[in-house]
Amino acid sequence: MKKIFISVLAMAAFVLSVSAQQKVYVWQADGNVLELNVSNIDSISFTAPNPNVSRSVATFEDVALGEQGFWNGSDLSGEEDSGNYYGSFTSSVFSFDNIYTAAWGSYMGFACSSLTDTVTSGFTNQYSPKAGEGANGSAQFALAYENGATFNCTYKEGYTNNTLKSVMITNGTYVYNEIRDGGAYSKKFESGDWFKVTFTGYKGEAETGSVDYYLADFRDGKTYINKEWVEIDLTPLADATTVMIAFDSTDKGDYGVNTPKYVFIDNLTIEQTK
């Protein structure tokens, strides 16, 4: 990735980097993020933004991880209740809920990570994406664990409407290897098996819509296990302010889904209007 820096007249913005997909992001002085098209390394073209529209992207580069390279609530920064610590972390206009249980040294909900082990199998490698990096080569990303993992959107001052746009997602190394090889509690996938994640939006108590994506699909002769970042359209969630994640799989037992219930996310994008 070749880095360039430019000034944008009257917008007080600068470009941080150019990706292999010929896209750049411009951070404006007011905090808005613009996605620009690059025709070549020396020429940049873009359309001036609508002043009534603000686009925000959660890249997770702004989350402090500490020396271990991930944050999962183990710093006990959440509010304690009966041995559970209810906390969250933020990126851009989003907050990501986390519940850490000190007695078990485990969490549910969201964590944030920079770990990139694409080889090691098993639960101890739960914080690494199989892609080996963040979306578009970034250093940090988030992961959701278990049904009910939730994130929330806050309005920027002066803005009153949300439109969720997209998110990049991928499997973790732990999940990918379990589906490929099987594990102590989950099966090696065979013909007809599948594993999917569902994003469901809410505004207040009302459901606004949902989006499914198959993280593994062995139906109809396919042998697909996701291992790269893919962009998912979230516009069916409409003006949701809360999004809840759930998982389903053909590999089920007495206690529900056996496939480890994780999904990694990056570049979560929303537009807000006045």
- The reported pLDDT for the residue numbered 5 is 37
Q: How far apart are CA 32 and CA 26, in angstroms?
A: 8
Report pLDDT digits (tens) over 80-105.
999 999 999 999 999 999 999 999 99
**pTM of the full predicted structure?**
0.83
**Residue ranges in the chain assigned as alpha helix (H):** 173-181
Which pair of structure tokens corresponds to residue 217? 């699909």
pLDDT tens for residues 59-85?
Answer: 999 999 989 999 999 999 999 999 999
Residue 161 dihedral angles phi and psi, to the nearest 5°? -135, 140
Q: How confident is the model at residue 47 (pLDDT cuts 50, 70, 90)?
A: low
Is the pLDDT confidence value at 172 over 60? yes
Count other C-beta atoms under 10 Å from residue 154's C-beta: 15
Exposure string over 223-262, b if 16+ CB within 10 A, otherwise e: eebbbebeebebeebebbbbbbbbbbbbbeeeeebbbbbb
- Percent of the chain, pLDDT > 70? 82
Q: What local confidence, expressed as pLDDT, does residue 42 receive?
A: 57
Measured CA to CA, the distance from residue 83 to residue 182 in angstroms comes to 33
Q: What distance in Å separates the CA atoms of residue 20 and residue 36, rounded to the nearest whole number?
A: 13
pLDDT for 183 beyond 60: yes
pLDDT at 21: 54
Q: Residue range 246-267: average pLDDT?
A: 97
Res. 15 pLDDT band, cuts 50 70 90: very low
pLDDT exceeds 80 at position 231 = yes
pLDDT on residue 66: 87
Average pLDDT, the chain: 88
List the beta strands (DSSP E) in 102-160: 106-113, 141-145, 149-153
Both tokens of residue 131?
A: 């892609």
Look-up of token digits 């001036």: 48
Element containing residue 174 per DSSP (H, E): helix 173-181
CB-CB contact of 8 with 29 (8 Å)? no
CB environment 53-84: b (16+ within 10 A), e (fewer): ebbbbbbbeebebeeeebbbbbeeebeeeeeb
Q: What angle do CA 167, 171, 172 make, to 5 degrees?
A: 120
